[in-house]
Amino acid sequence: MPLQSHVQIGIVGKPNVGKSTFFAAATMIDVKIAPYPFTTIEPNVGVGYVRIPCVCRDLGVKDNPRNSICIDGNRFIPVELIDVAGLVPGAWQGRGLGNQFLDHLRRAPVLIHVVDMAGATDEEGRLVKPGTHDPLVDIEFLANEVTMWMVQMLSKDWDKLVRLVDYAKKPLLDVLYDRFSGLGITQAQISDALTKLDLDKKPLSRWSDDDMRGFVSMLRELSKPMVIAANKMDIPEAEDNYRRVVKEVGNKYRVIPVSADYELA
Ligand SMILES: Nc1nc2c(ncn2[C@@H]2O[C@H](COP(=O)(O)OP(=O)(O)OP(=O)(O)O)[C@@H](O)[C@H]2O)c(=O)[nH]1
Ligand SMILES: [Mg+2]
């Protein structure tokens, strides 16, 4: 019986990069895996375990806590993983499986972005010769899709928001919090994003498109941090790409080399 988990992690990426393989390796759940895009349509949900050293050795604790288990001095913390359909450019506007799939990620406070580091799939997930697609393009596109999905939520009935805040004097924080309710975003994160960009005092009626995008992009980084699983490291072309990706975006993301195929085997 898996333990209950209160943390949900979304596994995201373009189609055919190995999301379901990664999910299957982490949860030991048998799911459909195939070398073409949109193998997964309905999300797969399961529990995986994060292993950390247990405090029992230092503190002499004997009982297993209710939220995790200890085996031989290792603590296994359950996390719920959700493996969703692949995302193609323009998903936020409904392309591919689009919004429907993004909606499955609402509750996840952390995302694992599975990237085909071998560059063996094009931007829509079709197989191409290894080394022909640049994984940096995928990293940028995915963050952009999630941001635009959130921008769309914010900009809907924008005039109404402006009236509420600028004229009816409802606190900006409350109005934004309402707008993003359901995404598990906290007031502190919203407030942080506003102050970091000097937008906390600016009337909404004077926000430019860049202000809105900048704010949402910052809020996304704060509220849905992303880790990059650099997948298909078993393919020789992945090595150079991996080094380049770490050099280019290693200060922004944790990039972890993996081979989901090998892990699963
Ligand atoms: N060489 C190699 N192939 C991999 C690796 N991980 C996954 N694959 C292969 O990539 C293909 C796609 O794997 P899936 O797990 O179905 O990919 P997905 O991202 O879930 O695909 P969609 O559900 O269609 O979006 C399969 O043929 C896998 O065997 C890996 O680490 N190395
Ligand atoms: Mg899949």
Question: What residues form DSSP beta bridges with 70?
Answer: 75
Please report, for residues 111, 145, 182, 199, 222, the alpha-carbon distance to residue 191 in angstroms, rounded to integers and kept in the order given.
22, 23, 17, 9, 11
The H helix count followed by the E strand count for the chain is 10, 7
The token duo for 110 is 């952390």
Residue 166 CA from chain centroid, whole number: 33
Q: What angle do CA 7, 193, 218 make, to 5 degrees?
A: 75
Residue 244 makes CB contacts below 8 A (sequence gap 6+) with 136
- Beta strand ranges found along 4-128 (DSSP E): 8-12, 44-53, 69-71, 74-83, 110-116
pLDDT given for residue 242 in this prediction: 98
CATH topology of domain 8-126+225-264: Rossmann fold (3.40.50)
Closest ligand 1 atom to residue 86 Cα is 25
Q: How many residues does the chain have?
A: 265
- pLDDT tens per residue, range 160-212: 999 999 999 999 999 999 999 888 899 999 999 999 999 999 999 999 999 99
Which ranges of the chain does DSSP label H, i.e. alpha helix? 19-27, 56-59, 98-103, 135-155, 158-162, 172-179, 187-196, 209-223, 238-249, 260-264
Q: Could you tell me if the CB of 20 is within 6 A of ligand 1?
A: yes
Tell me which of 11, 12, 14, 16 to substitute to probe ligand 1's pocket, judged by most ligand atoms within 8 Å of the beta carbon: 16
Q: What angle do CA 117, 120, 126 make, to 5 degrees?
A: 125
pLDDT given for residue 65 in this prediction: 66
pLDDT given for residue 5 in this prediction: 64
Q: Could you tell me if the CB of 15 is within 6 A of ligand 1?
A: yes
Q: How far is the CA of 114 from the centre of ligand 1 (A)?
A: 10
pLDDT given for residue 94 in this prediction: 75
Q: What are phi and psi of 187, to 5 degrees?
A: -60, -35
Residue 110 makes CB contacts below 8 A (sequence gap 6+) with 7, 9, 10, 224, 225, 226, 227
Each residue's pLDDT, cut to its tens digit, for the chain (265 residues) gives 556 667 899 999 999 999 999 999 999 999 999 999 999 999 999 999 888 888 877 777 666 667 778 888 888 889 999 999 999 888 777 777 666 777 788 889 899 999 999 999 999 999 999 999 999 999 999 999 999 989 999 999 999 999 999 999 999 999 999 999 888 899 999 999 999 999 999 999 999 999 999 999 999 999 999 999 999 999 999 999 999 999 999 999 999 999 999 999 9
Architecture of domain 150-221: Orthogonal Bundle (1.10)
**Parallel, antiparallel, or unpaired for β 254-257 and 8-12?**
unpaired
pLDDT given for residue 63 in this prediction: 65
User: How is the chain split into domains, by residue range?
Assistant: 8-126+225-264, 150-221
Question: Is the fold of 8-126+225-264 the same as that of 150-221?
Answer: no
Q: Could you tell me if the CB of 21 is within 6 A of ligand 1?
A: yes
Q: How far is the CA of 236 from the centre of ligand 2 (A)?
A: 23
The token duo for 192 is 């942080």
Residue whose token pair is 């895009």: 37
Q: What is the pTM of this model?
A: 0.92
Q: Could you tell me if the CB of 220 is within 6 A of ligand 1?
A: no
Q: Could you tell me if the CB of 130 is within 6 A of ligand 1?
A: no
Q: Give the span between the Cα atoms of 50 and 59, in whole angstroms.
A: 21
Question: What residues form DSSP beta bridges with 227?
Answer: 112, 254
